[in-house]
Structure 1
C-alpha cells in the first residue's frame, strides 16, 4: 500500500487529469452549442428530442467529473474555477430538461436507446448531488440550529435548560431508571442463556449409529465434490465461449480498499479546509501589506488627481462642479478616464433629463393609448398580408430552434479561466526549467538534492501559486421506456426516474443560489402516489441533501391555530418571511388535496382544511428568483381536490408509482442487509419480489421489521431465513390494487401536462393511421393496374 504522501501526489495528478478531460469535452460541446453556421429550424420531433437528449447526457457526464474534482481538489483558487463551471453546467442541465419537457409534454424521459451509442451505463444517467451543498455550510447550519433553539425556548416550546445542555432532575432520574432496568434485563438474559447452555451440556454428546454417521459424511462429501465439478464445468464452458475467467469476489479486500479510499477522501477535505484558511489569511495579509506600504503613495496620487480634476472643470466651465453623489458613483466617476468637459456635459444632461421627465408625465397616458392603437393596426395589416412573411419580405422559418441559455456565458468564462491557469502553469514550468539549468551549470552536485525535494513536495504545497492569482430511493433503471413509447404505450416511471426528478427540480436549485436565480423557476412541487411509496421520505431527503429548513403547513398541524382571516395571513406572512431569511427552505403541506377539497367531509369540517386555498396562490406569487423557497405538497388521493385550483398552485406534478419487479428485488436485498439479515440460498429474493407485486416500500419495510427481531437475527446461524417467514406479515396488509393505480393515472391525464401528452399521442396515432391508409391505397392502385394489364 502506498504511503499517505504518495497517495496525495497521485490523487492530485489524477483529479487534475480528470479536470483536463472534462474541460476538453466541454470545449467540444460548446463548439456544438455555438456552430459557425446557424442550423436551420428543425421540424421532426424525434430528431429534436435526440439532439436535446445528446446534449443532456454529455453535460451530465461532465457534471459527474467536475463534481468529483471539486470535492477532492485541494487548491483554493482552482476550486473556485471548477465551481464556477460546475454551476454553469448544472444550470444548463436544468435548461435542457425544461426544453425536453416542453417538447414531449412529460417530465419523464428515457434514454435507453442512446446509452449504447454514447457508451454509457445506467449509473451514468443518475444526476449527482454535489457534496458541497451541505459540507460548505455546516457552520451556517449549526448557527441556525442554535438560533432556532433559542427562539423556540423563548416561546416556551422547548425547555431553556435543554438548549443550554442541562437536563431537568426528573428527566435525569427517569433516564437512570430506564438504563438500570435495561442493565438488569441484560444480566438476567445472560444468566438464563448460561443456564440453558449448562442444561444442554449435562446430557453429554449423543452417540450416533455408525450407518447414520457414514451416510452423513457421504452426503457432505458428495455435495462438496459435485459443487466443485459444477464450477469446473462452468469455467470450461466460459473458456469455450471465449469469455474471460472471472476471479472470485474478495469481499474483505474490497471492503478494506473502500475504507482506505474513504479515509483518503476525508483527509483531502481536511487539507482543503486548511488551504482555504491559509488562502483567506494570505488575502488579508497582502491587503494589509499593500495598504501599509503603498497606501500613502496611492492616497497622495488620488488626492492630486481629484484636485487636478476640479481645477480642469473650473477652467472649462468657469465654476467648481459638485462632488458626484453616491448614486452616481462618488469618486469612481472622477477616475472613469473622462475629460472634465465630458463630465460637465453628463451632469448637465442629467439635470435636463430630470426636467423633461416632469413634463412628460402628463403625456405618457396619451402616447400609450396611441401606441396600443398602432399595434392593433399593425397586427391587422400583418394578418391580411401573406402568412409567414416578415417585414423585410423574407419568409419566417418555422420549426424548433434552441432557446438562448443563461448559463453558457458562465461556462465559456470558466473555460477561459481554465486556459489562463494552464498557460500560467506552463510558463511556471518553463521558468523552473531555466532556473534548474542555471543551477546545474554552476553546481552539478545539487541536482540530486533538488530532485528529491521535488519528489517529496506535493503539488498542493505551492502556496505562492494560488496566492498570486486571485435522497436515497433504491430503484432500478427503466430499460424499456423508449421501446414502449415507440409502440404508443406510456410506461410507468421507475423509482430511479422519480429520484432524478427530485434532484433536478428540488435539490440542485435549492443547493445553489446562482442556479436558482437563472434556471427555470420552480416554486412548487406535488408528489402524488399511493400510500407507502416514500413521498414524505423524499421531502426529508430533499431537506437533508440541501441543508434546508422544513416548515409544516399541513391541515392537521394547523387545526385550531391562528384562527380567523387575520391570523391566517399573519401565519403565512411569518412562515414565508422566516423561510426567506433562513433559506434554503422547504414548506411542506401533507394531504395537499384537503386544501382544495371538492366537498369537505363532515368529520373534517372542524379542522377547516380549506383555509389556505385563497391565500396560498397569492403567497406563491411573492416568491422571486432570489428566494430559495420551495413549496412541496404530498397527496395520496389527489382526485378528491378541485383540479383547476389544485394545478394552479402545484404546476409541477410528479406521479410516484409502486415499485416494479426490479426495484422490489433491490429493495428486499438492501433492506434485509440493512437490518442485519444474512442472505443465503434458502432465502429466495426473486420469489419474494414476484410475490410482492402490488406492495409498496412501506409494506415491505413493515414486513421485514416484524420478522427480523433481535432474537431472529441471532438464530440465523442455526436457522437461516426463508421467504415463507415474510408471507404472514405481508398477508396482513392490503396491497395497492390496480383500480387505485388506474384512478391515479386517469387523474394525471386530466392535468395540464397530461392533456398535452395525450394530444401528442393522439396526433401520432392519427399520423400512423393516415400512413397506413396511404399505403393501402397505393397497394390497391397497383393491384388494379396489374388486373387491367392482365
Structure 2
C-alpha cells in the first residue's frame, strides 16, 4: 500500500477519534435515560462508530512501519478493541442475547450488517517467534543465511530425485512401447525405426556472397501437363469414378453442396451468436449491470498472509535499526556527557547545601535512597529553609507523641478510604436499583471505562509530541532521533544521580562532622534507609518429564501420530450465510427479539470471539462448543477458524486419544506444552458429547470415548491463562446424550440454527454460478431455496457438487438443467433417500440450548412470569 494512502487514512482516523471523544464527553454528563430503548440506541451508535474506528486503525497499523508511531497506533487499536467488546457486552445485557440487532442505526449510517464484521486476518494475526515459525514452516522468509543454504540444498536434492524418478518412468514407458510394437509387427517397426532422419538447417542470408561459385540455371519448361481443370480436380470422387449414370453423379453433387451449405450456415450462426454474446457481456460490464457472483477463494488469504509476513520482515528490520540507534546514542552520550552530567549534579547538590547553611546555619537531612534520593531536590519536594528552621526550633517529640501523630494520620487515611468505599457502595446500589427498573446509567459506564480514558490520554500526548513533526516528509520511516536522545538522557541522568548521591552523602557527612566540631556538639551519623530487596517466594517448578526433549521433536511426534492435522486454507467467505433481517422488527412487549439468529449472525459472533486470539489483549472464551445437526457446517467453521488464525490444529477427539490410554497424563502434558509453545492453537474435539456420554453405545466402546472427560477441566482448561492464544473447540449433534459436565467444560455454547431462506438462496446462487457462471446466470434460485430450505447447508453443497458434475456441465447448453434433478438426488439417487431434519430433533436441540445459555435462561424465566400474569 502507498505511503500517501496510509497517511490520509491516519488523518481521517484522528478526526474520527476527536469527534468520538467529544460525543462521549457529552454523553458522560447526561442523566440516566428512563427508557431502556434510549440506552440501547446510545450504545448501538457508539458500537458502530467503534467498529468503523477499529477497522480503520487495524488497516493503518498493518501498514505503519515507523517504529515510534506504530506504538501509538497499537495503543489506540488495543484500547478501541477493548472498548468495542465492553459496548458489545452492554448491548448483550440489554438484548439478553449473544446476537444484537441494530438495524435502525445501520440504516441511518447507510451500512449493512456485513459492515460490522471486525475480524481482519492479516491485521489481527498473532505473530509467532521466528524460531517457532521455522519449525512450523519451511518458508525462507523466517530463515537466516545458514538455514536458507540448508533449505536450498534439501530442495535441490528433492528436485534431482524427482528428475531421476521421472526419467526412470519415461525409460520404462519407452521400453514397454518398443516391446509391444515388436510383438505387433516386428519387420515393419524395425524398417521404420532404422531410417535415421537427418535434419538440415538453411543458414543462407539474402545479399550474401557465395563462398563457392555456383552456376545458376533458369528452367522454363512446364513439366505438369494435364487436360483436367482445377474445377474437375475439386469434384473428383473415388467412389463415383466408375459411375456411368450422369443423374446419379448430379445427385451426389447436389447432396454435397447442400451438406456444405448446412455446415457453413450452422458455423456462421454459431459465430454470430458467440460474437453477439460477447458484445452483450461487454455492454453489461461497461454499464455495470452484470455482476458475476463467485466465491472468494483461499488464495486471497494466502496472498494476504504472505504480504503480512513480508511487512513483518520489514518491520523487524526497522526495529533492529531502532534498537541499534538507541544503543549507539546511549554509548555516545555516556562517552561525551557523563563527566559533565556528574559535575552538574554534584554542583547542584553543593548549592543546595550552601543555601541551607547560609539561611539556617544547618544542613537539610539528606534524602534517603528509598525516597529517590536527591531527585526530591529537583522536584522541590524537600522543606524550604523557613520550614526547616521551624522544625529545628521545635522540641523533639517523644515516642508517645510520635505514636499519636502516626495514629492520627492513619485514622485520617482510614476515614478517607471508608468514605470512598461508602460512596462506591452507594453508587453501586443506585445503579443496581436503576438496572432492576430497566434503567442504565450511560454516563457512569462511559466515565468508568479505562479504555476510553487511555484513548483520550494517548491522543492528547500524540497531539503534543507530534505537533512540530511533519510525518509526510518521513517516507523512509526513519525514527525521530531527538526523542531517542531525550529518553536516553533521562535514563542516564537517573542512573548517574544514584551514583553521585553515594559520593555526595560522604561529603554531606564530612560537612556535618565539621559543623559539629565548630558548634562543639557530638557528631552522630545519620542512618540511611535503603530499599529492602523484595523477597520473592521461590515457586516450585512443575516437574517437566519432557525437559530433555526439544520442541521440534515433540511437535513432529504429534504430527506423525496425526494428532496435529493439516487443515485446508479457508476463510469466512466460504461459510456462506445470510443475516436475519427480520429480528429487529419482531419484538415483544419487553422489547426483546422473538426470532432466532440466522447463520450469518452466528458467524459474526464467532469472529468476535476470535479477537482475543489476536496480538491485542482482549478477553476471550477458553472453550467454545458448536451445537447443530449433521452437515450444518460445524467442522467447516472449526477449519475456517484455524485457517484464519494461522493456528496449529490439535485433534484430541476420542479416536486419537484412546491410543494413549496407558499414559494419558504424558500425552496431555505433551499436547499442552506444544499448544503453549506454538500458539495460536486450536484444540479440537469432534462430537464432544461422546467425552461425557451418559451411556456409552456398544459401537463406541472400543475407542473409550469418556477417557478424556475427567481431565478436561484440570489438565486442559486450567493451565490456559488469559494471555494464552489457545481455545478448545468442540462440535456436537447430540448434546442431550452427555452429562452436565459438558456445559461446565465449554464456556460459550452456540447453537447453529437450521438453514433459513436467505442462507439457502445464497448457497444455491453462489455454488451454482461458481460451477457454471455463464450457463446459470439466471435460474430459478428462489424457487429452489424455498422448496429445499429445510435441508442443511452441507446437504445442499453436496447435492450441487454431485448433480453439477463435469459430465452434466458439458451438456448444459444442449440440455437445460431441470430443477427436479436436485430433488431426485435427495429422493432417488441417494440410498437411503435424504429427508429434511425432523422437527422433533430441532425442538430437542432448542430445549437443551435453553437450559445451557445464560441469556436464554433469563428469557425463559421472563416468559414464564408473563404467562403467569396472564
**TM-score bracket, shorter-length normalisation:** 0.5 to 0.7
Output one character per residue of 1:734-781: Cα deviation in whole Å (capped at 9) or x when no partner: 3541423232222212223322122345556788x6xxxxxxxxxxxx
Is residue 2:646 matched to residue 1:547?
A: yes
Are residues 754 and 396 of structure 1, via their aligned partners in 2, closer, same or farther at CA, if it must alter by over 3 Å?
Answer: closer
Query: In structure 1, how many angstroms separate the alpha carbons of the residues matched to 2:367 and 2:437?
Result: 55
Are residues 39 and 170 of structure 1, via their aligned partners in 2, closer, same or farther at CA, if it must alter by over 3 Å?
Answer: closer
Are residues 288 and 388 of structure 1, via their aligned partners in 2, closer, same or farther at CA, if it must alter by over 3 Å?
Answer: closer
Query: In structure 2, how many angstroms separate the alpha carbons of the residues matched to 1:623 and 1:61?
Result: 32
Match of 1:679 among 774, 798, 808: 774
SS in 1 for 2:658: coil
Are residues 469 and 711 of structure 1, via their aligned partners in 2, closer, same or farther at CA, if it must alter by over 3 Å?
Answer: farther
Output one character per residue of 1:392-411: Cα deviation in whole Å (capped at 9) or x when no partner: xx999983224433422322
Are residues 307 and 522 of structure 1, via their aligned partners in 2, closer, same or farther at CA, if it must alter by over 3 Å?
Answer: farther
* Segment of structure 1 superposing worse, 713-722 or 41-50: 713-722
Match of 1:588 among 684, 704, 721: 684
Report the counterpart of residue 646 of structure 1 in structure 2.
742
Query: In structure 2, how many angstroms separate the alpha carbons of the residues matched to 1:298 and 1:660?
Result: 75
Which stretches in structure 1 are left out of the alignment for 5+ residues?
A: 1-7, 148-161, 189-202, 236-244, 343-351, 357-377, 430-457, 770-790
SS in 2 for 1:559: helix
Equivalent runs, 1:162-181 vs 2, <5 Å: none
Equivalent runs, 1:344-493 vs 2, <5 Å: 399-402=439-442, 403=445, 404-420=448-464, 423-425=467-469, 459-461=473-475, 466-469=480-483, 471-472=571-572, 473-486=575-588, 490-493=594-597
Q: CA deviation at 1:307?
A: 12
Q: Which has the larger radius of gyration?
A: 2
Equivalent runs, 1:32-71 vs 2, <5 Å: 32-35=23-26, 38-71=29-62
Equivalent runs, 1:12-411 vs 2, <5 Å: 12-35=3-26, 38-129=29-120, 131-134=122-125, 136-137=127-128, 139=130, 142-145=133-136, 208=258, 246-247=287-288, 275-276=318-319, 278-295=321-338, 297-298=340-341, 399-402=439-442, 403=445, 404-411=448-455
TM-score with structure 1 setting the length:
0.64
* Segment of structure 1 superposing worse, 275-284 or 300-309: 300-309
Question: Number of paired residues?
Answer: 632
Match of 2:723 among 607, 626, 633: 626
Match of 1:665 among 761, 771, 777: 761
Is residue 2:640 matched to residue 1:536?
A: no
1:104–1:757 CA contact under 8 A, matched in 2: no
Report the counterpart of residue 861 of structure 2 in structure 1.
759
Output one character per residue of 1:356-387: Cα deviation in whole Å (capped at 9) or x when no partner: 9xxxxxxxxxxxxxxxxxxxxx9xxx99xxx9
1:524–1:631 CA contact under 8 A, matched in 2: yes
1:481–1:491 CA contact under 8 A, matched in 2: yes
Is residue 2:842 matched to residue 1:746?
A: no
Report the counterpart of residue 198 of structure 1 in structure 2.
none
Query: In structure 1, how many angstroms separate the alpha carbons of the residues matched to 2:365 and 2:257?
Result: 123
Query: In structure 1, how many angstroms separate the alpha carbons of the residues matched to 2:478 and 2:154?
Result: 48
Q: CA deviation at 1:624?
A: 3.3
Q: CA deviation at 1:47?
A: 2.8
Q: CA deviation at 1:464?
A: 5.5
Q: CA deviation at 1:35?
A: 3.5
2:628–2:752 CA contact under 8 A, matched in 1: yes
Output one character per residue of 1:26-65: Cα deviation in whole Å (capped at 9) or x when no partner: 2332333343764333453333322222221111111122
Query: In structure 1, how many angstroms separate the alpha carbons of the residues matched to 2:167 and 2:862?
Result: 65
Query: In structure 2, how many angstroms separate the alpha carbons of the residues matched to 1:498 and 1:474?
Result: 12
Output one character per residue of 1:296-321: Cα deviation in whole Å (capped at 9) or x when no partner: 54567679999999999xx9999999
Q: CA deviation at 1:118?
A: 2.2
Are residues 104 and 65 of structure 1, via their aligned partners in 2, closer, same or farther at CA, if it must alter by over 3 Å?
Answer: same
Are residues 171 and 40 of structure 1, via their aligned partners in 2, closer, same or farther at CA, if it must alter by over 3 Å?
Answer: same
Output one character per residue of 1:645-695: Cα deviation in whole Å (capped at 9) or x when no partner: 222222311111243333233334444566x64432477361544454233
* Segment of structure 1 superposing worse, 38-47 or 492-501: 38-47
Report the counterpart of residue 834 of structure 2 in structure 1.
734
Query: In structure 1, how many angstroms separate the alpha carbons of the residues matched to 2:3 and 2:74?
Result: 17
Are residues 673 and 275 of structure 1, via their aligned partners in 2, closer, same or farther at CA, if it must alter by over 3 Å?
Answer: farther
Which stretches in structure 2 are left out of the alignment for 5+ residues?
A: 139-149, 177-238, 240-252, 356-360, 388-398, 404-421, 485-570
Query: In structure 1, how many angstroms separate the alpha carbons of the residues matched to 2:825 and 2:160?
Result: 38
Are residues 584 and 340 of structure 1, via their aligned partners in 2, closer, same or farther at CA, if it must alter by over 3 Å?
Answer: farther
* Segment of structure 1 superposing worse, 107-116 or 32-41: 32-41
Are residues 311 and 663 of structure 1, via their aligned partners in 2, closer, same or farther at CA, if it must alter by over 3 Å?
Answer: farther
1:523–1:631 CA contact under 8 A, matched in 2: yes
Are residues 23 and 528 of structure 1, via their aligned partners in 2, closer, same or farther at CA, if it must alter by over 3 Å?
Answer: same
Are residues 420 and 294 of structure 1, via their aligned partners in 2, closer, same or farther at CA, if it must alter by over 3 Å?
Answer: same
Q: CA deviation at 1:713?
A: 6.4
Report the counterpart of residue 495 of structure 2 in structure 1.
none
